[in-house]
Amino acid sequence: MTMNYRPLGNTGLKVSEVSFGTWAIGGSWGATDDQQSLRALEAAIDAGVNFFDTADVYGDGHSERLLAQATRGKTDRVHIATKFCRRGDIRDDETYSEAQVRAYCEDSLRNLGRETIDLYQVHCPPQSVLEDGRVFEVLDKLKAEGKIRAYGVSVESVEEGLICLRYPGVQALQVIFNLFRQKPLTELFPQAHAQGVGILVRLPLASGLLTGKFTADAAFAPDDHRSFNRNGESFNVGETFAGLPFERGVELADQLRWIADGRGTMARAAQRWILEAPEVSCIIPGFKNTAQLQENLLTLDTPGFSPAERERLQQFHAEQVAPHIRGPY
């Protein structure tokens, strides 16, 4: 298993094409075990993973602090992206003021034990904040001061992503993209690539649906977003099961079992499909333990898809999946 590295747009960073998100080890995915999390982070770094995505709200800074522990003494070769704005009221202009953004940035720097954040991302703000654009002026200042190396935006929809591309300082977009959400392929990815903007792919397995392991009667812990945000009760519905009603998602995943043929598992196949998009810088699946992490890393050795298979998957998405997705897409 050999790690491959891709440019993160024009940031100057090269990131492992299989990188990892740390929402699950921070909280909101059921019970966590810090020692398991730290062992998994160490295993990832040993395997050549050099990029992790986190946010100040993942366990109220807990995942940032875990990353600080795991990467101590390795800050020159392990890059970290974090996010801000959701500790405040995302609809309040004050949340995006220079004073408040500076405070968020300093808190994350302290949690991470770093002097510079490699990629600082606005964390799924309302579209109006992106259209206004003043938050990017603040980020330009932080970049000029060396507090951040580059900045980007975690978006919920293609439309939001296209708005971000109007601003030349935006160097990365974090998007939901998987076999159940293929819309970014058409317009957003080509335009981002043309502008030298990196693409981070979150929820590559649609909150686990694309592992093929769930049944319609599966239950999740009360503190797992797959329980408390199943229908968008707490944040955007697209963040949970790609915006699909859970039972429908299980049915659709069942129809995709064929992708595992010759590729080991559905999860590896689903993530290999994403990495075949040349515009993608990396996928950032979540994990809770070393076994889950190693399963995701096996994506690196997974065979790709033929043009006919890709066409079949595109048609499946258009006809069977897209009509059932809820929320901005």
User: What are the residue numbers of the active site?
Assistant: 58
The one-letter code for the residue type at 95 is T
Tokens found for residue 116 = 């510079």
Distance, CA of 237 to chain centre: 15
Do 329 and 157 form a contact (C-beta atoms < 8 A)? yes
Q: Give the contacts of 192 (CB within 8 A, at least 6 positions apart).
A: 9, 161, 165, 173, 198, 199, 279
The one-letter code for the residue type at 314 is Q
Max Cα–Cα distance, the chain, nearest Å: 54
Which pairing describes strands 198-202 and 170-176: parallel, antiparallel, or unpaired?
parallel
- Rg, C-alpha atoms of the chain: 18
Which of helix, strand or coil describes residue 289? coil
